[in-house]
Amino acid sequence: MTRTTPPRPVHVEGLFPKLGAFRGVTTRLHPRPGRPDASVSSVGGPLLWPADEPWPVCTEPHKRSSGYRVADIRRGRQVLADAWARDRPSDEERDLLKDLGRRHRERAIADAVPIPLIGLVQLYRRDVPGLPPGPDGCDLLQVLWCPFEAHGPSRHGLAPHVRWRRSDQVAVPLDAPPQPALVGFEGAVAEPCVLHPEQVVTYPYAGSLPPRLWGRIDAWEDAEERKAEKRGLDDELVTYHHDLSIPQGCRVGGFPSWHTTDPYPMNCEACAAPMLLLLTVDSHEWDGANGSWMPTEEWDVAEHLRDSRPTQLTIGRDGLLNIFACPTEPGHPHRWSLQ
Separation between Cα atoms, residue 25 and residue 128, nearest integer Å: 13
Q: What pLDDT sits at residue 304?
A: 72
Separation between Cα atoms, residue 181 and residue 66, nearest integer Å: 9
b/e code 184-214 from CB counts within 10 Å (16+ = b): bebbbbbbbbbbbbbbbbbbbbbebbeeebb
pLDDT in tens, 71-127: 999 999 999 999 988 888 899 999 999 999 999 999 999 999 999 999 999 999 999
Bridge partners, 43 (sequence order): 121, 193
Q: At a CB cut-off of 8 Å and minimum separation 6, what does 222 contact?
A: none
Separation between Cα atoms, residue 5 and residue 339, nearest integer Å: 23
Q: What percent of the chain has pLDDT over 90?
A: 84
- Predicted confidence (pLDDT) at residue 306 exceeds the cutoff of 90: no
Q: What are phi and psi of 211, to 5 degrees?
A: -55, -40
Helix residue ranges per DSSP H, the chain: 12-15, 70-85, 91-100, 211-231
Overall average pLDDT of the 38-46 stretch: 97
- Predicted confidence (pLDDT) at residue 183 exceeds the cutoff of 70: yes
Q: What pLDDT sits at residue 234?
A: 60
Quick one: CA torsion of 9, 15, 21, 25, rounded to 10 degrees?
Answer: 0
Per-residue confidence at 288, pLDDT binned at 50, 70, 90? low
Task: Find out whether 275 and 324 touch, Cβ atoms under 8 Å.
Answer: yes
Q: What pLDDT sits at residue 136?
A: 93
Radius of gyration of the chain (CA): 21
Closest CA to 85 of 296, 302, 298, 300: 302
Task: Find out whether 244 and 201 touch, Cβ atoms under 8 Å.
Answer: no
Per-residue confidence at 3, pLDDT binned at 50, 70, 90? very high
Overall average pLDDT of the 245-250 stretch: 96
